[in-house]
Amino acid sequence: MAAFLTNFSPEFLDEIRSRIRVSEIVGKRLKLVKRGREFLGICPFHNDTKPSLAVVDDKNFYHCFACGAHGDIIKFTMEIEGLTFPETIEKLADIANLEVPIQSPEMRVRENHRKTLKDVNEEACKFYEQTLQSTKGKEGLDYLRDRGLSDPVIKKYRLGFSLRDNNDLLETMDRRGFALELLIEAGLVRVSEQNKKPYDYFRNRVMFPISDRRGQVIGFGARTIGDSQPKYLNSPETPLFHKGRILYGSAQARESSSKDGEIIVTEGYMDVIALANSGITNVVAPLGTALTEDQINELWRLGKEPFICFDGDQAGMKAAVRAADRALPILRPGYSLQFSMLALGEDPDDLIKRSGIQALKDVLTQSIGLADFIWGQELRAGQNNTPERQADFFKRIRNKIKEISDRGVYEAYKDNIEQKIRELRDYSRSYTKQKNRYTGHSKFGASKWDNSSLSGFNYSKINTSNAMAMRQKQSILATFINHPELIEEFGEALGYLDFGDPFLDKLRLDILDITSTMVGVDVNDLQDHLLGRGYDNSFGGVINSSVLGHAAFARHDAPVTFAKSGVRELLGRIGKYQLEEQLSAAQRVVMEDFSEVNWNRLASLRAALVAVNNGTILEDGF
């Protein structure tokens, strides 16, 4: 940032306010409607659907009558765009055509030099953009389009291409009047140690301009098209570019993050751009390294609890752990991190391409907080199956949170950790008392039925107080018997549920077993196989007039969309909390034992819960 004064004179600030109307600044972010001498709009500082923000140009302020937000153009710009005070003044001064005061002649020289470096980076960015869109850049453009990127996204992120020629950029910039020394200082050109000749630093690579939070290009990232190494390359450190302080995509993410207060952190450039290509623009990434304290503080300018959504592999987990370790000492009230876990081997782009945007949103919804994350990491750091090992774990986790500098946050973490310790002790005492009724595993993650548990069960002695719940469970199974094609979408959920009734659970698992071993099973195939396993024509009363009278969607002649909506609603009523509890447990298991099996179970449970949650409520008579 420029070395501007941090204590601006009141006269200078008043001059900015007098030159820019409040409605001009606010109107760039909100739709304003003129009401007399005021403007009204929907307040961006709280969730609302009615206009409650008044903008009064005559008095140079805005005020929300709902949440009390109040300020001038300086405060509005700082809070909406997440800028520091000097950065805000610089931006507003530029709009007002005012020159920002600089402290000394030496600082003025330094700032002019920084502007020159920005000029050369901007010119290089334009050159790379032009090259990508030229016939020479076809290889780079084909690569980006093969990745599914649209032209608007390529343009928004100003993607470019550098040619194989050693001197392509150098010669062009020389013709445009930029000195060699400046190109070297900007990290665009290097000098060969062998022959002392200058050459382009970036060659045969897709170019990713890296901007500061105001959108000014300060450096570049680059991905090779061929086999050259390294695969990704960043600009070297320069007076403008400091890799550990910058987040890729922050300028583009700033507006969308300020609207909803959320920011997503991925591992690299392509994750950011791929998500933007899918319509999710509040995304940033570190520059090929673990998150630093400076970058975490930068994230907190964009959102109070950023989502750490790294790749689902060991490297991604290690990067998340490092981020947690670096965040702990600098935590402050209201600011933390959320950790979003992807399936093993998956990245955000893969997930969206396979399952759509909603799948990523569901992953974010299931994120765990920093306190739970560090607890899980310490828990899986060693065995805890003896009193001594458990005591060692308690000691480690207590020492871990002592790294928190803020006293208030530390006390809150201490309370949280001690509660978890009490719960773990209770769990340890009761664990040996738990007995499973199932053995083995089905395709959908559910266990197969142990038929010995059926002995002595009298199906006719169902308590009438449970009749309604029983009818709902029967309706679910009737739907799958008459519409087995729905197993593809809801099989995961059906597999993890426990109906709490031996007969219905046996029927449920038989349905899953038959459909998992047959390809393209239809209603006749399924019913024939169930009859072959000893069921009667009503499948134990599941297919009868009483059930189908209350659940029309379960009938064989019901449209599949109607059947889908109905079964989703009932699965949600009966199984949502079961699935949520199992998902929470699976997350803890992953933290304790990071393995492919546990990751896959976690992903399977998440898919089950997503399938259940996507429906709308039906008025079906229950």
Q: Which tens digits make up the pLDDT trace of 494-505?
A: 887 777 777 888
Sequence-ordered strand ranges (E) for 146-193: 160-162, 189-191
pLDDT of residue 113: 60
Residues 14 and 49 in one domain: yes
The verdict on residue 5 lying in a domain is no
The verdict on residue 4 lying in a domain is no
CA distances from residue 316 to 275, 375, 500, 513, 589 in whole angstroms, order as listed: 18, 18, 39, 35, 18
Residues 188 and 261 in one domain: no
Residues 209 and 256 in one domain: no
pLDDT of residue 456: 29
Residue 413: which of 359, 457, 373, 365 has the closest Cα? 373
CA distances from residue 154 to 236, 256, 344, 479, 613 in whole angstroms, order as listed: 24, 18, 29, 47, 34
Task: Encode pLDDT of 30-53 as tens digits.
Answer: 889 888 778 999 998 887 788 889
The verdict on residue 541 lying in a domain is yes
- Which one has a higher pLDDT value, 347 or 132? 132
Residues 131 and 212 in one domain: yes
Contacts of residue 496, defined as CB under 8 A and 6 or more positions apart, other chains included, come to 444, 445, 446, 575, 578, 579, 582, 604, 605, 608
Distance CA 528, CA 533 (A): 9
The verdict on residue 579 lying in a domain is yes
The verdict on residue 464 lying in a domain is yes
Helix and strand totals (H; E) in the chain: 25, 18
Distance CA 303, CA 335 (A): 8
Residues 426 and 511 in one domain: no
Check if the beta carbon of residue 161 is closer than 8 Å to that of residue 132: yes
pLDDT of residue 526: 86
Phi first, then psi: give them for residue 538, nearest 5 degrees.
-95, 5
Please, which pLDDT band fits residue 594 given cuts at 50, 70 and 90? low
Q: What is the DSSP letter of 34?
A: E
pLDDT of residue 110: 60
**284: enclosing H helix or E strand:** strand 283-284
pLDDT at 252 over 60: yes
Task: Encode pLDDT of 264-300 as tens digits.
Answer: 999 988 899 999 999 999 999 998 778 999 999 889 8
pLDDT of residue 405: 92
Of 61, 95, 129, the one marking the end of a domain is 95
Q: Give me the percent of the chain exceeding a pLDDT of 90.
A: 29
Q: Please give the average per-residue pLDDT across 417-436, as a whole number.
A: 66
The verdict on residue 620 lying in a domain is no
**How many domains are contained in the chain?**
4
Phi first, then psi: give them for residue 211, nearest 5 degrees.
-110, 160
Please, which pLDDT band fits residue 597 given cuts at 50, 70 and 90? low
Question: What mean pLDDT, rounded, does the chain reach?
Answer: 80
Residues 450 and 598 in one domain: yes
Could you list the residue range(s) of the whole structural domain that residue 472 is in? 443-613
Q: Per 3-state DSSP, what percentage of the chain is helix, strand, and coil (rounded to 5)?
A: 55, 10, 35
Task: Encode pLDDT of 452-499 as tens digits.
Answer: 232 222 323 333 334 566 777 888 888 888 888 888 888 877 887 777
CATH of the domain at 53: 3.90.580.10
pLDDT at 174 over 60: yes
The verdict on residue 386 lying in a domain is yes
pLDDT of residue 330: 93
CATH of the domain at 181: 3.90.980.10
Residues 301 and 393 in one domain: yes
pLDDT at 563 over 90: no
SS3 letters for 118-147? HHHHHHHHHHHHHHHHCHHHHHHHHHHHHC
Q: What is the DSSP letter of 292?
A: P
Check if the beta carbon of residue 338 is closer than 8 Å to that of residue 368: yes
Of 73, 95, 117, the one marking the end of a domain is 95
Check if the beta carbon of residue 615 is closer than 8 Å to that of residue 364: no
- Which one has a higher pLDDT value, 583 or 30? 30
Residues 318 and 256 in one domain: yes
pLDDT at 57 over 80: yes
Highest mean pLDDT: which range of 247-261, 372-386, 472-486, 559-573: 472-486
Residues 170 and 135 in one domain: yes
pLDDT of residue 457: 28
pLDDT at 258 over 70: no
Residues 200 and 349 in one domain: no
CATH of the domain at 343: 3.40.1360.10
Residues 279 and 412 in one domain: yes
Residues 268 and 396 in one domain: yes
**CA-based R_g, the chain, Å:** 30
The verdict on residue 618 lying in a domain is no
pLDDT of residue 201: 94
Contacts of residue 65, defined as CB under 8 A and 6 or more positions apart, other chains included, come to 52, 54
pLDDT of residue 622: 32
338-339/368-369 β-pairing? antiparallel
Q: How many other C-beta atoms lie within 10 A of the C-beta of residue 135?
A: 7
Q: Please give the average per-residue pLDDT across 151-175, as a whole number.
A: 92
Of 95, 113, 138, the one marking the end of a domain is 95
Distance CA 495, CA 511 (A): 10
